[in-house]
Amino acid sequence: MKLKLIILFFALLPLSMAAQKNYELKDPTGKLVINVKLGSELTYSVSHGGDLIVAESPISMTLTDGTVFGKDARLRKKTEKTVNQTLETVIYKKDQVVDNYNELRLDFKGSYSVIFRAYPDGAAYRFVSGLKEPFCVASEQAKFNFPDNPKM
């Protein structure tokens, strides 16, 4: 009986490992790194120069109809791109601003996406809906888990 349980455990182990997928996005300098994990929840972490800045933190968005973007996320498509452009400003202390980042777009079943951007001096994400009907957001989970209990 023990042998059957051990065989079953090792047979199911790859399935549990495959259930969680990891994606890495670096800024154009390679110093800032965003790690994204897909599993029962969508999480991200941010490091800079090997130092962990934001520990693994969950994100999600709940609609008023109960739909949750980011829970049990099933990836349909992944795309990456690099942007390096100069933007003219209207009312700012400079006439031009450099807009340089790498982007990771994750499209999920359920008609939504999450876009992560890694800049040389910061990180960002946003949810994008592909739903055809209007909807309302009931809540958004945006946690920021900082390592080593820092004081701010």
Residue 19 has pLDDT above 70, yes or no: no
Average pLDDT over residues 34-40: 97
Instruction: Give residue for tokens 């450099």.
Output: 98
- pTM value is 0.83
Average pLDDT over residues 126-151: 92
- Say whether 31 sits in a helix, a strand or coil: coil
Going 141 to 150 to 27 to 75, the CA torsion angle's sign is negative
With bands split at pLDDT 50, 70 and 90, how would you rate the model's confidence at 148? confident
Going 52 to 53 to 55 to 59, the CA torsion angle's sign is negative
